[in-house]
């Protein structure tokens, strides 16, 4: 009996303990549930906001992607149309090449100007143009190289192939042809030589004065200064240099150059490759002969110095790089060397170097020469006295320029 009673009491105690444990467990569960709910209310809003943000970001990316796809399709269509237009004709390709070259040169010129301003270098007032003014476009600038002692030569040119005064100005306005005698200043600025040129300029108004000291051994520097100055003052398709003892048919020259307007980088003249003269004391001696290899070697091809023309892009190249272009003693060699390594078309045109004897029968045959001179004198021998005779026999006629269309 006693044993049965004890067993029943043990069962009751165990059940009581089990009952208490379930109640506390239930209370604890409710407490944890409330705590979890509170914790969720405080912690979950931010992830929900981030999710919304991600959804908005994904939507924006989707829209941008659609825009990009539309832009790509539009660009492909435009490119296809543009290429289709380009492939239609070789002239369009040449135009595109010339436009790209112009933009590259203008960008390089702008960079050079910016560097000049940042370095504090002065800029001449002659080189400044109002921002609102569009520069006039010219066909060519013809610079006639001359010296202080060449007054008679200049007068012979004015009396023959260079129109005087108002006719010259009319030529600029109607035909886009600029013509100037090119000269620097003496070693003593303001001296008698400079005053004589100033008086001549006041009378004729046909000089381009350079910031350059005149001298025979400084012709390379003068050539560089001429192209740089002319390029800054006139926006032309071509820049021509000619000596004052050479006869030129301007209308024929303009027509010849106009043929190469679509070419971006053109160097036109009578190309030659003469010997490099190492012996001192001879005419055209080359002090830097050793740079051209073994004795007896010849120069690279370059235009003879009596007359040559370069396109706008090459004049721009000289202007931009003038401080680093090497000067040889012979100016025609210097010019040719500046274009080595560039993608330049060399045009060998023998009409730019006719003799004073054969230019007459060529004119009669309808093959008018652009320029005429005597090779033996590197110009017309005694040009001040003979220029009128050469003009009479080999000139293109007084109405050629008026009737010309470029």
What are the pLDDT digits (tens) for 281-306? 888 899 999 999 988 899 999 999 99
What are the pLDDT digits (tens) for 251-268? 999 999 999 999 989 999
What are the pLDDT digits (tens) for 238-252? 999 999 999 999 999
**Which pLDDT score, from 0 to 100, does residue 182 have?**
98
**Cβ atoms of residues 258 and 406 within 8 Å:** yes
- Percent helix, strand, coil in the chain, to 5, is 55, 15, 30
Beta bridge partners of 145: 182, 243
Judged against a pLDDT cut of 80, whether residue 231 lies above it is answered with yes
**Which pLDDT score, from 0 to 100, does residue 284 have?**
87
Judged against a pLDDT cut of 80, whether residue 18 lies above it is answered with no
């Amino acid at each position: 009996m006693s044993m049965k009673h004890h067993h029943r009491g043990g069962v009751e105690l165990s059940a009581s303990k089990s009952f208490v444990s379930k109640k506390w467990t239930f209370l604890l569960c409710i407490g944890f549930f409330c705590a979890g709910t509170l914790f969720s209310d405080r912690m979950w809003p931010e992830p929900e906001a981030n999710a919304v943000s991600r959804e908005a970001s994904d939507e924006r990316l989707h829209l941008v992607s659609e825009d990009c796809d539309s832009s790509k399709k539009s660009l492909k269509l435009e490119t296809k149309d543009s290429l289709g237009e380009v492939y239609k004709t070789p002239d369009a390709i040449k135009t595109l090449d010339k436009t790209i070259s112009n933009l590259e040169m203008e960008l390089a010129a702008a960079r050079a100007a910016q560097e000049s301003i940042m370095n504090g270098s002065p800029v001449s007032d002659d080189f400044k143009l109002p921002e609102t003014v569009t520069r006039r476009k010219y066909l060519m600038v013809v610079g006639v190289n001359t010296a202080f002692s060449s007054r008679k030569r200049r007068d012979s040119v004015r009396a023959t192939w260079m129109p005087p005064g108002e006719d010259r100005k009319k030529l600029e306005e109607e035909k886009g042809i600029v013509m100037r005698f090119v000269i620097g200043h003496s070693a003593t600025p303001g001296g008698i030589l400079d005053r004589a040129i100033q008086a001549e300029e006041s009378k004729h108004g046909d000089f381009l004065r350079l910031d350059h000291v005149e001298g025979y051994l400084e012709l390379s520097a003068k050539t560089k200064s001429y192209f740089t100055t002319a390029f800054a003052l006139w926006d032309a398709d071509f820049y021509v240099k000619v000596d004052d003892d050479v006869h030129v048919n301007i209308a024929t020259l303009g027509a010849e150059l106009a043929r190469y307007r679509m070419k971006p980088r053109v160097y036109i003249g009578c190309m030659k490759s003469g010997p490099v003269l190492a012996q001192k004391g001879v005419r055209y001696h080359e002090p830097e002969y050793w740079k051209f290899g073994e004795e007896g070697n010849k120069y690279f091809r370059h235009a003879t110095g009596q007359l040559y023309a370069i396109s706008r892009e090459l004049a721009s190249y000289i202007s931009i790089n003038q401080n680093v272009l090497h000067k040889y003693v012979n100016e025609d060699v210097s010019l040719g060397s500046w274009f080595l390594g560039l993608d330049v078309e060399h045009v060998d045109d023998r009409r730019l170097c006719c003799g004073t004897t054969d230019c007459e029968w060529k004119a009669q045959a309808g093959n008018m020469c652009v320029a005429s001179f005597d090779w033996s004198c590197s110009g017309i021998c005694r040009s001040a006295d003979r220029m009128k005779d050469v003009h009479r026999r080999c000139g293109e006629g007084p109405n050629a320029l008026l009737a010309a269309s470029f």
